Structure 1
Amino acid sequence: MTTRYAQFSGKFYPSSHIETRKLIEYIEKKEANNLRHIVDAKLNVFGGVVPHAGYMFSGYQAVHFFHHIIHQVFDSVVILSPSHRGLGPEISIDGHDQWEIPGADFQTDKELLNSGLFDVSSDAQYEEHAAEVMLPYLSHYRPDLNKIAVITIRNPKLQNIRNVAEKLYRYEQDSGQKLLVIASSDFNHFESAEKGREKDDYILEAIKNLDEAEVIERVRKYNVSVCGYGPIAALMAYGKMKNEKVNFSILRRGHSGEIMPSDEVVDYVSLLCAAPLEVKP
């Protein structure tokens, strides 16, 4: 049994699961007036985009996504992670048997791990925070969802992200499982709040238009430092395969300067990937 132990507790989120719970509950209370109460029964949620910064900075955006999956039904969670350190194959699935964080264990989706669809690597997530930061949220909002797969996208070229989407869709169809796919990403980094919002708007427009190729193109054309644009693009391609009526809705936008004033901020956006629930007559 191999375990990927928490590497960022006490840094991005508290080292105690009790303190993490208190922090999330505090953020929820602060966000109470901003939470969008969408009737879950009328939506078929496929996934979303969630920021992965420290909870004191990006938790105010992240909680909106997790708030929306409380009553949805899923069998397994796939976390699409960027590669901040550039380790592992171009695309890989984490090979650990389980992930451990303070107060919770997550079992690896062995069926997906052993499917042969992805190269297996236990190195790609070494000192990588993007996936781990999602786990305390999952433990808090959906403790029943303790089966996960972490897919690291080191090379986010268009062919790779479409391959990821196609393989996840195929796996879901063949296995009969319903996946929750989370794209872990912050948005523009270390520019003024005004400039960052302008750059983010270019990317959000392409996301709303469901054009994953344009997301990649605009990131490069406008030099937008969206660290998880590969995971975002892969989620977009996957969502379109799931349902032609899929839509990405912005739940909450913000930036680090709202917490710690600065002339250079990091932007955070949470989005929901869903389609109207089809009701059979």
Structure 2
Amino acid sequence: MRRPAVAGRFYPASPEALLLELKRCFEGLPTREDASIKGVVCPHAGYMYSGRTAAHAYAVLPSVDTYVIMCPNHTGMGSGVALSTDTWSTPLGTVDVDREFVSALPRDIIDLDESAHIYEHALEVQLPFLQYRFGDGFKIVPICLGMQDKETAAEVGAEIQEAMERTGRRVVVIASSDFSHYVPVEMASRNDRYVIDALLRADVDEFYRRLAESGASVCGYGAIASMLYAVQPESGELLDYSTSGDSTGDYVAVVGYAAIAMR
């Protein structure tokens, strides 16, 4: 059992308080299932900072069999491409891994490794959003990326695509990532929108080029690229963009958050 690592810090630890916080995140957002969505980009900060932006993605997410969730490795622990097969626990209950999908992965580059996930927050914080929207009617495939170069992302995306074809599963791929880190809000907004523009055109090569050119500190860039390679979208839509300054009032050193739907 993979138990919560950041409950009580990134989001409330009690079910009642967590549900109230999620209700706040979704307040005023119409929920619908957009079946055209193949993948999304969601932030992974504390809910008080990025929960509202994340809710913009989850409000339109379609209900599917399996959500492949990919995140960057912030801890440095474990394999460079680490897949967890444990059942995951949150204050709202447990979430099972889709073991049939896991078995269908070629696993040429993806390793079975729990250690990368033990203390990692970036994937865990996505689960209560899924539980809030869809109860227990889904499974996940959790992948933590320590290696985020374009070649690795292409291999990971190809393996996910192959497992999708082998299983015939209805799948949405969730890429967990924040954008600029600890820069003035003007710089964050400029750099983030520059790299996001490449994502809206589903152009992986241009995405990596703009990351290098701008220096935008997008922590989950490999997760985003892997998602693009896996689902092969035609275009994207920016659903919401915000910064930590919107919550704290500090615009001198902000973190950028984006919710993006890929179709």
TM-score (norm 2): 0.93
Is residue 184 from structure 1 mapped to residue 182 from structure 2 by the alignment?
Answer: no
**Residue 236 (structure 1) aligns with:** 228
Shift of 1:220: 2.5
Cα 1:210–1:38 shift into 2, 3 Å: farther
Percent of aligned positions that are identical? 29
Query: What is the total number of aligned residue pairs between the two structures?
Result: 259
Once structures 1 and 2 are overlaid, which stretch shifts more, 254-263 or 144-153? 144-153
Once structures 1 and 2 are overlaid, which stretch shifts more, 176-185 or 114-123? 114-123
Map 1:152-167; keep pairs closer than 5 Å. 152-167=144-159
Is contact 1:76–1:145 with CA below 8 Å preserved after alignment? no
Query: What is the root-mean-square deviation of aligned Cα atoms in Å?
Result: 1.6
**Residue 88 (structure 1) aligns with:** 78
**Residue 256 (structure 1) aligns with:** 244
More strand by share: 1
Structure 2: which 5+ runs fail to align? none
**Residue 67 (structure 2) aligns with:** 77
Q: Residue 21 of structure 1 aligns to a residue in which SS?
A: helix
Is contact 1:212–1:234 with CA below 8 Å preserved after alignment? no
Map 1:1-281; keep pairs closer than 5 Å. 3-29=1-27, 32=28, 35=29, 40=33, 43-69=35-61, 72-96=62-86, 98-115=87-104, 116-117=106-107, 118-240=110-232, 246-262=234-250, 263-274=252-263
Amino acid at match of 1:56: M
Is contact 2:173–2:231 with CA below 8 Å preserved after alignment? no
What is the distance in 2 between the residues matched to 1:163 and 1:9?
32
**Residue 278 (structure 1) aligns with:** none
Amino acid at match of 1:28: F
Shift of 1:38: 8.7
Q: Residue 174 of structure 2 aligns to a residue in which SS?
A: strand
Q: Residue 77 of structure 1 aligns to a residue in which SS?
A: strand
What is the distance in 1 between the residues matched to 2:185 and 2:211?
17
Amino acid at match of 1:14: P
**Residue 277 (structure 1) aligns with:** none
What is the distance in 2 between the residues matched to 1:269 and 1:173?
29
Amino acid at match of 1:255: T
Is contact 2:195–2:211 with CA below 8 Å preserved after alignment? yes
What is the distance in 1 between the residues matched to 2:96 and 2:189?
38
TM-score (norm 1): 0.87
Shift of 1:221: 2.6
Q: 1:169-207 CA distances to partner (integer Å, 9 max, x unpaired)?
A: 111111111112100001101011111001102211111
